[in-house]
Structure 1
Amino acid sequence: MTQAAERARRGPLSGAAAALLVAVFIDALGSGLYMSVSVVFFTRYLHLSGGEVGTGLSVAGAVSFVSLVPIGVLADRVGPRRMLIGAHLVRAALLTCYPFVSGFAPFLLVVSLLAVADRAASPLVQGLFGTAVGKEQRVRAMGRARSLQNLGLALGGLVAGAALVPDSDGVYVGIVYANSLSFVLAAALVARLRTTADTAPDGGRPLPWKQRISVFRDRRFALLTGLNSVVSLHVTVLTAGVPLWVLAHDRMPRAAIAWTLVLNTVVVVLCQVRATRGIETAEDGGRALRRSGLLLAVCCCGLAVTGAVPTGAAVALLLGAVAFQAFAEMYQQAGAWAISYDLAPEDRRQVYLAFFSLGNAARNTYGPLVIAFLVVQRGAVGWLLLGALVLGAGAWAARFGQSLAAPAPLSSSPVPHVPGGIRGHRS
């Protein structure tokens, strides 16, 4: 990296990026409030059964999954800023409808539409950061956004925990409306931004459909999307694997589950930006995924041992393993941002980002099954197998990241991967 590029990377973020970071924090604060009481609200206030809530959330997840790429295509046409404003306002409107939902069918409609808007917001935010800062600062800016997001979710969860004590319908409805207000405020902040994304990159002329959906024929990008999805199993390890493992071992205190969540949040908030240093290109991103896979494999090995040691040592190993999981999370996120930023063509940025997000959506579907099949059924051996899986995925990601860094040979492919060669950034 040249000295000029290094100065640009370390320089202050633009005003647009700062405003977008505030919007991300407000969004997360409201979401943290809502996530902590949502299931209680559905069952106590809307009088839905646990089965209806589970079915509704599953259907909503599937609907949001299939909508990601079409929304990305539309965002490339109208711009990520307008689409993100729309997503925030739709989320706000749907939340205001929740208290008036009566019955399973209306609930299914609202929760599905809300899931579509929620799922679309993440790649839209990433795309907007791509236009709000220079290419040297994109991964760093996303690192700051990730830290603020974790902080907002944690603070919102703490407030919601206190609000749950009265067990009042009025409190639940108030939290739902507070989350709705947070989306309105976030939309207002985004509306004030002025970036290069406000105009279509091709001057307003829509791309042919074959070029709009060319991501489906980009095999290398699809492969890295899949490998990143596997390495991102750190999410399922923390949210499903660790709790199930603790519950399966009576000598470990149940409070340890909460301790692991707090530890993860603190580490990510404090260290995510630092973990993005030197990670800018797809090659850097591949190496970051390899490091993440290694760290998560160490985490899995530590968890495998906890079942065979005394209580004190088991708790210490558990917390140590989760610390490795937190660093694995940070490097995976940084690597994912670098890969998706570096490889998406400028005129198809949002559809590429949306496609890359499909890996995370898929992980939310197969991740719990992996945990159930490996960890729940096979115990310590399952943890070791999971560690080997993520280690191999990270190694393959580094290999393909290096191959993408090399100049691409001339090809007769009808749709080039990216203008200017493989390393051309996607803005």
Structure 2
Amino acid sequence: MTSHDPGPDSETTTVPEVGPAAKPSRFFARLAADLDDPVLRALVTATAVSRIGRGVFFAVTVLFFTQIIGLSAAQAAVVLAVSSGCGVLGSLLGGWTADRWSARRLAFAFEALGGLLLAAYAFAGDFVSALILASASGFLDSTGHSARSAIIARGFAPERRVHARAVLRTVTNLSIAAGSGLGAIALALGTPEAYRIVIASGGLLCALGSLPLLRLTSAVDAPNRAVHDVRTETGSIDMDAAAAARRDWTRRSPWRDPRYLLLTVLSAVFGMQFGVAEFGIPLWITGYTDAPEVVVSVLLIVNTALVVLFQVRASRGTHDVRVAGRVTMVAGWLMVAACMIYALAAGLPAWVAIVVLVVAMVAHTFAEILSQAGAWGLSFELADPVRAGAYQGVFGMGFSLGALASPIIVNATAITYGPVGWAMLAAIFLAAAVGIWIIARRAAASA
């Protein structure tokens, strides 16, 4: 949260609130104040609706593939992996197009079409159709996400960008949780018809979530490149000036910015902590500990609740590259602690293992919260504002690659070698955090 965000002192009530109701009340009061910004209001509305739809898919997709369509576990894994791979290309294309055409119209088109493709999952009947639909929808989701990132980069003042991302991430978590609850209807009924109706409904919600993006103004679009075309007094284009403008445009490419590329790589490495939570922890609990499988859901609830409560607060001031570097370093040490505590759960009595795993998830979640806040700040502040879309596309591509690599890395370390593997993972996360901290420190010094 930035200095422009309303804090407790700015809220006035007739009777001071005390007790458990105070914090939720302040949270919703701050969220309501944030919605006074028309850009953030449109993005929050779009995110809330579309992520409910996505939450449905997170809850039922794998079981729909395996139990309803009849795919093997290996085929389902291939479908999801190829979808992630298409997302890498989508991230690049979304940023590239958002620098050339209207980012708001592109985001609307990509997300509306992506939602309709998700609804079409209901009609998938075999491996090939599932693969085609998952690949296309994964591509469009990442493309739309990059276009949205470009909107955030241009639609807010520098000190407001990270706060906007934090608010949107909070809304995303709440909406996905609600969508997962809707997906539970299909899981409870267990019939093909229930799965298909819920999936079609989720996809339509994703498509409807794109409509508020049309309320955004042209201020969030890329500046018109025609301004670089210098014309002579007779009205003809000065070709030398136009060529110079094109060279300047090319020079501003993120692919020519080694500092930003290194930041992207290191952030992608640290971003593998999402793979630890989604892939590694369920396998670790079921294969190495005596904790019951239901603990996986308990840890997910702990993670979601902490993100909702603390993401906005933890993002305060991270538009300052010094602060962003420091919070990333703290996140690195927290991730080291989380890895070591996860490792301790092996071989303990069930109730002790549960306590240890919850403590580890708390440390892990705060590492996630702080690392995201630092990554957002640095990804915006170290980018060339003229090519905001391209920079955000490259940064998003890095996270997509990290998501692809994380199951492999987690399996090759923690799941294969146990406590020693967890120590290896801890070293990887700490090295990435140190690298990001050095980049931030040098950027601050040069500024």
TM-score (norm 1): 0.88
* Matched residue SS, 1:77: coil
The more displaced of 176-185 and 263-272 is: 176-185
Amino acid at match of 2:77: G
The more displaced of 175-184 and 373-382 is: 175-184
1:417 paired residue number = none
2:422 paired residue number = 383
1:208 paired residue number = 246
Q: In the aligned structure 2, how far is the partner of 1:173 from the partner of 1:213?
A: 47
Change (3 A) 1:9 1:355: farther
Q: In the aligned structure 2, how far is the partner of 1:374 from the partner of 1:397?
A: 23
1:300 paired residue number = 339
Choose which of 66, 71, 77 in structure 1 pairs with 2:89. 66
| Contact 2:99 2:222 survives alignment (8 Å) | no
Q: Which has the larger radius of gyration?
A: 2
- Cα distance per residue 1:28-85 (max 9 Å; x no partner): 1111012211223334444444443332322222222134223311111013211110
Matched, 1:42 2:65: yes
| Contact 2:253 2:390 survives alignment (8 Å) | no
Q: In the aligned structure 1, how far is the partner of 2:345 from the partner of 2:66?
A: 36
2:236 paired residue number = none
Amino acid at match of 2:410: I
- Cα distance per residue 1:332-380 (max 9 Å; x no partner): 1111110111111122111111101122111112211111111112111
Q: Could you tell me how far 1:211 is from its partner in structure 2?
A: 1.5
Q: In the aligned structure 1, how far is the partner of 2:125 from the partner of 2:281?
A: 36
Q: In the aligned structure 2, how far is the partner of 1:183 from the partner of 1:292?
A: 32
Q: Could you tell me how far 1:103 is from its partner in structure 2?
A: 4.1
Matched, 1:365 2:404: yes
Q: In the aligned structure 1, how far is the partner of 2:198 from the partner of 2:228?
A: 43
- Percent of aligned pairs sharing the same letter: 27
Q: In the aligned structure 2, how far is the partner of 1:309 from the partner of 1:51?
A: 32
Structure 2 residues not aligned, in runs of 5+: 11-32, 230-244
Alignment map for 1:2-401 (pairs within 5 Å): 6-7=3-4, 12-13=33-34, 14-198=37-221, 200-203=223-226, 208=246, 211=250, 214-401=253-440
* Matched residue SS, 2:316: coil
Change (3 A) 1:292 1:48: same
| Contact 1:201 1:346 survives alignment (8 Å) | no
| Contact 1:85 1:191 survives alignment (8 Å) | yes
Change (3 A) 1:290 1:45: same
Q: In the aligned structure 2, how far is the partner of 1:72 from the partner of 1:18?
A: 22
Q: In the aligned structure 2, how far is the partner of 1:277 from the partner of 1:64?
A: 30
- Cα distance per residue 1:76-106 (max 9 Å; x no partner): 1013211110111111231343334454434
The more displaced of 80-89 and 95-104 is: 95-104
For these two proteins, the number of residue pairs brought into alignment is 404
Q: Could you tell me how far 1:308 is from its partner in structure 2?
A: 4.8
Q: In the aligned structure 1, how far is the partner of 2:305 from the partner of 2:158?
A: 28
1:415 paired residue number = none
Change (3 A) 1:245 1:221: same
When the two chains are superposed, the root-mean-square deviation of aligned CA atoms in Å is 2.3
The more displaced of 36-45 and 201-210 is: 201-210
Change (3 A) 1:375 1:47: closer
TM-score (norm 2): 0.84
